[in-house]
Structure 1
């Protein structure tokens, strides 16, 4: 599809069809269920922390497990919402475009990096990303577009706004290189760590690889005062509980991975 055609389609997004799904009852239902589960998770986590402070580690563990269950429920509903909106919006997408309307920023970045990895592997020249104009965002400030630009900046992908439509961002893929993890990273890992960056992005000029490692090791060995010990224990407990969430959500992540890859394969086959 030409840039002009993409621009025309982009213009139609806000005129004839609610690609943001702001009024879609099913989309709203799934997001609201996710928000409700997140609220319950926060309440249970606070109760767990309170029980831990009071010395009732058994109750703290029970409440923490219930909190993890609610986190799993929330992720499940958000995955369903992401799959729903992505499928609906990309049913009419051409092979060289992807529509990210209605996705949360992390969801959009994660799905897009997989699409970019496919495009680079297939030697595609460019990808038109429909990011919207932020009309349904808080205070009318776009969120998806800056998130896409950030993703591109991490791996130095040239991108520019379609001069005919501010809601379309064009990413140049010719001769591009992206981390291999972009094609394989699961959503939980991505949401926790953010997009993978090229190795040189971590390396300031004139600094060896060993020096940042040593600095990091020193930062991980603070000297605790007696009154700080209990707080450190609680932080360690919270961190250890959070590390178990990735395994609990793996099956849900696989659902959206399979969905994303099926749709990406469908887009790619249009070029064959």
Structure 2
């Protein structure tokens, strides 16, 4: 595996390939990231991963400085997974000037849910991903492919719309959430959990599954008070010591609240997703469950 730190070297190296496959990460890799690499490998002529902790998507009070950085271990895991190129720029390399040009995603998708609790988050995500796409795919003759995990459900929809509306020469692929045997979604931030918190952490996934089942049952009975079901699920999770930002059911297509027609019997099957974000101790976890 070739490790590259400079933008110019990355462009020069990738110029010989017509169709890269790309997995952007912030490092501290786990089996979920490696699943993305395995998904990417057959899609392109060269498999590229990036490691960059992007300051633009962190709020001032969030964990940018303490975010786990495990570069040597990450390199070993990527090489074992068959990654061909790792791009690991410094902040000064990727942002040699203050990044005043930023990409603003549509508020109806980016200012809800995660965007409500982390203002500006998706602006930071879109800006860095667009910049990475320009570096990885800028020289390719046949476009390329990028793979993202579905645990970050809203991020996936935002980036997919970005690629479509800007006519970027890249096809985006969603990879299912990788989970521990007890159902906890794999996340770099799971490393913050104490042993007791790790045992409790699966309750977020269980809460989403119960909420989805309750909504499906209510739809089948023809009387759905969605707000009441969401409030009940939130209260039950908070009673266990969580601080919940949201537990909600939305349309998969645009993450808007489902209306009557969306909840009409068979029409709702396979169209909805339960999403949640909550803090357990000092760790904020997110997850989702399609139904």
The structure with the largest helix share of the pair is 1
The structure with the largest strand share of the pair is 2
TM-score, normalised by the number of residues in structure 1: 0.25
TM-score, normalised by the number of residues in structure 2: 0.23
Q: Which has the larger radius of gyration?
A: 1
Q: Between the two structures, name the one with larger relative contact order (CA 8 Å, sep ≥ 6).
A: 1
